[in-house]
Amino acid sequence: LMERNIPRAAIHVGTDKKSFSSQVGNEAERRGWDEKRYQLKNADIDKNNHYNYTRKRLNFEIVKDGKILPLGSQSVPLHERLQHRLDELGFKPYMDAKRPDQVSRNSPNCTVGIIFSGDHDVLNRLAFGEQKLNTSDPNADHSKVVLQKGIYDWALDTYRFACEKWGEENVIGFDVHCDETSIHAHVQTVP
């Protein structure tokens, strides 16, 4: 009976954004992230990061029609996909009259980032089953860890929910990170 009361989902909605940088997109998709980049991210003591390079290969993304791919597989980076969708919609940000190279503060928002996660232990069971691993140790060797079907099912359910809410054409990125302490999915949408 207690098992039913375990929290299973969490949603964090970031602030609406007027723009979206390639740097933010590259982090979500782990583009250009080599072992040295992981070490640099973990060296930032203020952020208490726990990125594990040996679990990078476990990250994945979900694309149109619910197809699962390794993270960063799409040839068009996230920030460019967002711009393509904005172009399709005819979205033009208001530029600042005093600084023509910057977006005005009263410009409409063009994107919203959402993070889906849940109970740490539940998601770890879905992802890793009975495999024992310490997700808070960035230096642990998890090169033999295999993702279980449960985490793909969770991610597909979450992807379908996002598509029902905002339209599949407006879900620009759906990136699942299994290389950090807690498993989560970054969803980038056009509002």
Q: pLDDT category, 191, cuts 50, 70, 90? A: confident
Comparing CA positions, the residue from 6, 10, 3 lying closest to residue 117 is: 10
Q: pLDDT category, 1, cuts 50, 70, 90? A: very low
SS3 sequence, 119-185? CHHHHHHHHHCCCCCCCCCCCCCCCCCCCCHHHHHHHHHHHHHHHHHHCHHHEEEEEEECCCCCCEE
8-189, what's its fold? BirA Bifunctional Protein; domain 2 (3.30.930)
Poorest-pLDDT segment among 72-76, 79-83, 102-106, 183-187: 102-106
Q: What is the pTM of this model?
A: 0.88
Q: 131 and 145 in contact (C-beta within 8 Å)? A: yes
- Check residues 21 and 92 and name the one with the higher pLDDT: 92
